[in-house]
Amino acid sequence: MCSPAERRATAETQRPDIAELRLPAGPGWWPNTVRKGQGPMATRKFNLSESELPTHWYNIAADLKTPPPPPLHPATHEPIGPEALAPLFPMELIKQEVTTERYIEIPEPVREILKIWRPAPLIRATFLEKALDTPAHIYYKYEGVSPSGSHKPNTAVAQAYYNKLEGVKRIATETGAGQWGSSLAFACKLFDIECKVYMVKVSYNQKPYRRSMMRLWGGSVVASPSEETNAGRGVLAEDPDSQGSLGIAISEAVEDAAMREDTRYSLGSVLNHVLLHQTVIGQEAMKQMEMAGEYPDVVIGCAGGGSNAAGLLFPFMKDRIEERTKTRFLAVEPSSCPSLTKGEYRYDFGDVAGLTPLMKMYTLGHTFMPPGIHAGGLRYHAMAPLLCHLYDNGYIEAKAYAQNPCFEAATLFAQTEGIIPAPESSHAIRGAIDEALAAKEEGKSRVILFNLSGHGLLDLQAYDDYLAGKLVDDHYPAEKVTEAMKHLPVI
């Protein structure tokens, strides 16, 4: 396996020219397999029954050859125990955070709610394949069928359930693009828990209908940085025009939870228990790929904090760790927030104010202030420790793309497959298209599976900006990462 340094040298990928992939007018683009007399049409959708919904979450920590570095106390730099997390999380979630059991049973009340949208469909992108003229078979797991339109409720429902069991009355959280905030508001409403959301200001202004969803489900949402916390006021004192970051919003939500007896904190990505809950995605996909009679050569997910990528990748990763397959795993991130492809593998805080434990992650530094790209869910300074550990050990590859090539890919996907993707998901689509084009160039078949983590029906302003040529392609400079590393603890 290549080292992370060798893989990172070519990870930030420039856009190949896909202008020639525009579909011609009329019926000529229609796949040959559906023309009269041309044989049967390939099966597109692979659906599981509700009875086939996973009964357990899969914990990849049980199968790692080496354990990931432990979280550390920010003052002593000693490994922390469950008691350090007790003020913020219910004990059952803390147990899931540290357990090495392979399978954790999904409580029946959680499974019943998941059945509102799960199992989610697996779809073969036959129309996209035809447009690309590729021998590759492209499949996508579609998580946009959930009530909030993304994969986030998979863990929101579980977290709200465990908080309810401990009598928690109120949960504070942060959100980037609003997909997590709206998902937690939905879950809290089901369990009669008050929900307070600190939404990164640039997305708060870009995506007003995400705010509407949170409020419709009974949540309270404010733009972060806000005047409601010491962390927010401190940022505004230094920069009154701050557009915010997930690191700042996390600081505000953690402070909120720590200051109130009736409140706990909830996080939508990064932590082990969040990635655990998302493995329903990959477990379903494994059954569905078996229905399709194929096994993926490459599995792809967009990556910001790492939850949707891990949810699809980890169940398949078990086969790779046990050397039963040679499947490749690809995490695709924005070139403006390139934690895997440009960050350093260091112990860092999960937030700007330094309120969280220290976690070893590929990080751009907790002081990182990201550009206001439309993929707000990917604008985080670091990546999930479990995913970083696997990346560092060579099991995962990473690529970074700028906004325009991702929206170009998303537009082609919408024009062929009909689904308008979330800006975050467009990164996975870009990665899948490039894999399909590589297969075409090599003249070899390739089975590609990616996670379409959400729809973009509340992100149409982003598409308007793309079509108007207003999107800026930011590439985060390495010298800024070097400068940020000076502010990290020396472990």
CB–CB of 286/37 below 8 Å?
A: no
CATH 3.40.50.1100 domain range(s) in the chain: 4-55+118-149+273-485, 61-109+151-271
Residue-wise pLDDT tens digits, 264-319:
999 999 999 999 999 999 999 999 999 999 999 999 999 999 999 999 999 999 99
**Pairwise CA distance, residues 474 & 482, whole Å:** 18
Give ∠ CA 70-74-80 in degrees, rounded to 5.
40
Report how far residue 351's alpha carbon sits from residue 75's, in angstroms, rounded to the nearest whole number. 15
Q: In the prediction, which pLDDT does 81 show?
A: 86
- Yes or no: say if 86 and 308 are a contact pair by the CB < 8 Å rule: no
Predicted pLDDT of residue 20: 46
- The CATH architecture to which 61-109+151-271 belongs is 3-Layer(aba) Sandwich (3.40)
Q: How far is CA 157 from CA 182, 219, 400, in A?
A: 12, 15, 31
Band (22; pLDDT cuts 50, 70, 90): very low
Instruction: Specify the pLDDT at position 6.
Output: 56
Nearest-10 crossing angle of helices 460-467, 403-417: 110
- Per-residue pLDDT, 83: 85
Q: Using alpha carbons only, how large is the chain's radius of gyration in Å?
A: 21
SS3 of 21, please?
helix
Is pLDDT at 37 greater than 50 in this prediction? no
Percent of the chain with pLDDT over 70: 92
- pLDDT single digits (tens) 399-433: 999 999 999 999 999 999 999 999 999 999 999 99
pLDDT digits over 338-367, tens only?
Answer: 999 999 999 999 988 888 999 999 999 998
Contact 254, 87 (CB under 8 A): no
Give dist(CA 490, CA 413) in Å, integer: 45
pLDDT above 60 for 33: no
Return the half-sphere exposure (C-beta side, CA atoms, 13 A cut-off) of residue 119.
24
In tens, the pLDDT along 73-92 reads 999 999 998 888 888 999 99
Lookup: tokens for 473: 């392609």
What's the pLDDT score for residue 372?
74
CA distance 317 to 62: 12
Predicted model pTM? 0.92
Give the CA dihedral 348, 349, 353, 354, nearest 10 degrees: -100
Show the beta-strand stretches assigned E in 176-256.
194-200, 220-224
The confidence band for 143, taking pLDDT boundaries of 50, 70 and 90, is very high
Task: Name the average pLDDT for the chain.
Answer: 91
Task: Return the CATH number of the domain spanning residue range 4-55+118-149+273-485.
Answer: 3.40.50.1100
Residue 112, pLDDT > 70, answer: yes
End-to-end Cα spacing for the chain:
27
